[in-house]
Structure 1
Amino acid sequence: DLHLEKASFFAKHGQMLPPYDSRATLERLAGAVRETGARRVFCLGDSFHDANAVARMEPHAAGMLDALTRATDWVWITGNHDEDAAAPGGTVVDDLDIRGLKLRHIARNGSADTEVSGHFHPKLRVTVRGRSIARPCAVASENRLILPAFGALSGGMDAGDPTILAALQPARAIDAIVPAGEKLARFALWRAAA
């Protein structure tokens, strides 16, 4: 979830936020594409905060987005925020099946599919030396993965929220996965009763 132009959406409704969220998100995304050499990019929905986001995008961010969608095979998967947005460049689909791997915006509760989704913006909260720390995380079961939001201004839901845990059922185990330097740290969120 990129949630491009979320700040400008809130500004239209009287809540003033710095208008640089789209630029920051796209700079981070361009860096990830460069660093990984990605030739394909899949956006798992809610790429735009609302249907008019593209029209509000400032020229620099719009140019960055245009360059990214031209440089890669770009796929926009629609989400609940942007199903009516006019996505510039790339291909727009509701969901995608790549050799049995389902890419969609919202995890399908009860699905046996091998699946990658977004929507929930999971964050893991831990207490370290008396301080509460929250970090974006992925949430995974055996064959399904909910990715964290990628946008600079996207908020987050507690990774152990019952809604997220229910979305990944049926499962034997559900973990939060958090980047920790060069490694990935796993935290148990839920285990099936033995």
Structure 2
Amino acid sequence: MNGYGFTLSGAALVALPSGALFWPEQALLCVSDLHLGKAERIARRGGALLPPYETRATLERLDADLEATRAVRVICLGDSFDDLTAAEALPEDERLWLLRLMAGRDWTWILGNHDPAPVDYGGSHRHELALGPLSFRHIAERPEPEISGHYHPKARLAGKAHPCFLLDAARLILPAYGAYTGGMFCHEPALCALMSPGALAILTGKRALPMPMPRVQPQVRPRFTGFGR
């Protein structure tokens, strides 16, 4: 799976290249910030008309991760839908696809700031969930072993931005799993304040790649545009 294995409070976890977290001992897959229906919500509010394929792309990735890990338990860490209207407006084929992925699995929706109330998709709906030594919630709160999302962290390597996990001894922040999601560079003050010195950024992509969490904005070289006259 080209994942990166690590332990948090004694739990052996794997950061997957897709941005999902796998806990093999629990047969558990955790994802954050799917933002299903984002293109519909932006169009409804008069924004740019984005190609309406982001939900399918996200479900394809989730389907592949569930197949590869054989997870029987799933935790979605909030902002699973871009808003409640977007949840209700999913095309029927996408709604049925999601219900198929949920079938036979212990599925928990953690409530986020975009989806503050339960939606009609089954599963359980919670503000947070304690499981073994770990707490799962949407937004990082306390200096305890916790797994959260919300910030959509990303880091730059070789001039390219990658969504990333952020990991220290007390917490893990997951990247946004959904397509069409932006992000916050991990040198931003909000993330530097949350993560302790020595934290790692685990970049997503073809493989999960750990690196020291960047805390200084990288210098961008000006692009050469030719000699002036």
1:143 aligns with 2:143: no
Runs of 5+ unmatched residues, structure 1: none
Residue of structure 1 in register with 2:127 after alignment: 94
Q: Which residue of 1 aligns with 2:60?
A: 27
2:198 corresponds to = 173
Pairwise CA distance, 1:139: 0.8
Give the structure 2 partner of residue 114 of structure 1: 145
Matched, 1:12 2:44: yes
Stretches of 4+ aligned residues off by more than 4 angstroms: 180-183
Equivalent in the alignment of 1:59: 92
Alignment of 1:184 with 2:217, yes or no, is: no
What SS does the aligned partner of 2:64 have?
helix
Describe the superposition over 1:107-160 as per-residue Cα deviations: whole angstroms up to 9, x where unpaired.
Answer: 11xx2310110000011113x3xxx20011001111210000000111111022
Aligned letter for 1:116? I
| Equivalent residues, number | 182
Q: TM-score scaled to structure 1, two decimals?
A: 0.88
Deviation at residue 180 of structure 1 after TM alignment: 6.1
RMSD over aligned Cα atoms: 1.6
Q: What stretches of structure 2 of length at least 5 have no aligned partner? A: 1-32, 216-229
Quick one: percent identity of the two aligned structures? 42
Q: Which has the higher contact order (CA 8 A, sep 6+)?
A: 2
Give yes or no for contact 1:174–1:189 (8 Å, CA) kept in 2.
Answer: no
Q: Post-superposition shift, 1:84? A: 2.5
Mapping for residues 67-78 of structure 1, pairs under 5 Å: 67-78=100-111
Structure exhibiting the larger radius of gyration computed from Cα positions: 2
Q: Deviations over 1:67-102 (max 9, x none)?
A: 111131111000000013514121100000001201
Instruction: Calculate the TM-score normalised by the size of structure 2.
Output: 0.75
Q: Greater shift after overlay, 12-21 or 2-11? A: 12-21
3-state SS, counterpart of residue 52 of structure 1:
helix
